Chains A and B, each alone.
Chain A
Amino acid sequence: MTAVAASPPVGAVETVDLAVTPLRELNQRLHHLARDDTGPGHWRVLHPNGAHALACGLDADVVVEIEGHAGYYCAGMNKRATVRVRGSAGTGVAENMMSGRVVVEGNASQSAAATAHGGLLVVHGDAAARCAISLKGADVVVRGSVGHMSAFMAQTGRLVVCGDAGEALGDSIYEARLYVAGDVDGLGADCVEKEMRAEHVHEVRELLERAQIDGVDPAAFRRYGSERRLYTFKVDNAY
């Protein structure tokens, strides 16, 4: 739990209405925060109306609440900031996130948290295809289900799915750890089920707590990861 998410600065909410203000102006103002770190610490964005690239490239300890649906690449490349979408998010939410926290209260479309290096993405609804594709260190917690090809080539980081997973979960996975409570339609190449030991139950519990998701039993999850039999895992193929 980050202090920022728990206690946004009181009485300093900057409201930006995208029905009036151009999106570029909003993003520009948010980017300026990265430069001098002064300015409002808590932002509310009204009438997002599915706009693409909302709150992208943030690098400041701020909270941005988006009051509605976000389009593609919302909170992409996020650093330090907490971005909450009170609606659904389109393709590539929190793509390449470095740190901070992104929360989607509705569903997330495909490629959520693609290549994300750090931070936490929480999706309260479902995430679609390719969730956490090429994950590079971030944590992703999905309250619902994820679509096909999720965690494809995921390198490191954790994906927790409280619902089901689609076809080819974890195809060509490296060292990321996957936890699924529901059914898995099929595992991808070199992805296998692994023993769920006490430390893994502990890890899931800790991630659910950080994601503020209740009512899910950490012991109900199964763990999946790499069998390490593909080409890249053979020492003879190392340079």
Chain B
Amino acid sequence: MFAKSEEVEARLGADLAAMLVQLSDRGPDSAGVAFYRDEAPPRSTKVTLYSADPGEDWGVVAAALREALGGAGEPAVRATHACIVVEADAEEVERWAVDARPDLRVMSAGSVIEVYKEVGRPEAFARQFALDDVRGTHALGHTRMATESRVTTEASHPFSTGLDVCLVHNGSLSNHNRLRLALRREGIPFRTDNDTEVAAGYLAWRMREGATLEQALEGCLDDLDGFYTFLVGTADGFAVLRDPIACKPAVLAETDDWVAMASEYRAIAVLPGAEDARVWEPSPGVVYAWERVAA
């Protein structure tokens, strides 16, 4: 969901939650979202941390970050996750987490991204994480029915392996093991055995090497084997790509106020203005991208 007006930005979380609930039956085992919102100040990094301990004292975590890295804001807690703005770069935060708090997971890092994901049905997830109140410029969501890897919080989508970049995926990849090895040699870290994480890592690597989002996605057509519909979020917008056979569903809709993408039209039909939207199914192997124009 990509907002083109302030009105839609204000209700982005509520709209995304409504879309996720529509697709509960497609993916009842886990749900996740990535919101792009509230830019962190320069030279700071916004990180979303996850703790398996529901009683986690996030105030203590923020204090430890402050102590170790010089500065950290108050934690904004959502269920099992907390979002903290730290006066350090993403690598420093990641290193701190590995050394000082290996029980925590960095779900996302960047200037605008926030990733929240959890096992359970989308309805419960939307309630637990109070999605209805979230404002933002754009957001991605996913409901998961696991195929390639276990049902865990970490293996839920979206996957973020680069600053402000995240990916959700419908499909399955067949060459992810070899590709993971190759990407590890390039210094891309992986935390799960999940195929989607490899695709996210691939995109992060291509963009680190200078490719634009569009070029990185086009690279998928050559380098990824399998079937997929990808939805990628960046600080500025999002993009959609279907593999050249395009068996996996995707519907796009656009109005003057928003752009929405979903696996089934029913998820778009619940959005205000959907009845007047231009609706189409993306062609195979074509990158569709929307970006915010710098003000």
Indicate whether A109 sits within 8 Å of B281 (C-beta atoms), given known contacts A50-B22, A148-B246.
yes
- B249–A71 CB distance below 8 A: no
Indicate whether A69 sits within 8 Å of B266 (C-beta atoms), given known contacts A110-B281, A126-B280.
yes
- A69–B246 CB distance below 8 A: no
Indicate whether A109 sits within 8 Å of B283 (C-beta atoms), given known contacts A91-B249, A129-B246, A148-B246.
no
Q: Which of A69, A129, A148, A166 contacts B265 (CB 8 A)?
A: A69
Interface residues on B, range: 10 to 19
Q: What are the residues of chain B within 8 A of A69 when measuring CB–CB?
A: 265-266, 269
- A49–B266 CB distance below 8 A: yes
- A50–B266 CB distance below 8 A: yes
- B279–A107 CB distance below 8 A: yes
Q: What are the residues of chain A within 8 A of B283 when measuring CB–CB?
A: 147-148, 166-167
Bound: A236/B72 CA distance, A: 78
In the complex, number of A-B residue pairs with CB atoms less than 8 Å apart: 46
Give the shortest distance, in Å, between A153 (CB) and chain B (any CB): 15
* Chain A binding surface SS class: loop
- Interface flag for B264 (CB, 8 Å): yes
- Interface flag for A113 (CB, 8 Å): no
Give the shortest distance, in Å, between B25 (CB) and chain A (any CB): 8
- Interface flag for B102 (CB, 8 Å): no
Q: What are the residues of chain B within 8 A of A110 when measuring CB–CB?
A: 249, 281
Q: What are the residues of chain B within 8 A of A121 when measuring CB–CB?
A: none
- Interface flag for A128 (CB, 8 Å): yes
Give the shortest distance, in Å, between A93 (CB) and chain B (any CB): 12
Give the shortest distance, in Å, between A110 (CB) and chain B (any CB): 7
A39-78 CB contact bits vs B (8 Å, 1 = yes)? 0000000000110100000000000000001010000000
Q: Would you mind naming 18 contact pairs between A and B with Cβ atoms under 8 Å apart?
A: A49-B22, A49-B266, A50-B22, A71-B264, A88-B269, A88-B279, A91-B249, A107-B265, A109-B249, A109-B264, A109-B265, A109-B281, A126-B280, A129-B246, A148-B246, A148-B283, A166-B283, A167-B284
Query: Footprint of B on A, CB under 8 Å?
Result: 49-50, 52, 69, 71, 87-88, 90-91, 107, 109-110, 125-126, 128-129, 147-148, 166-167
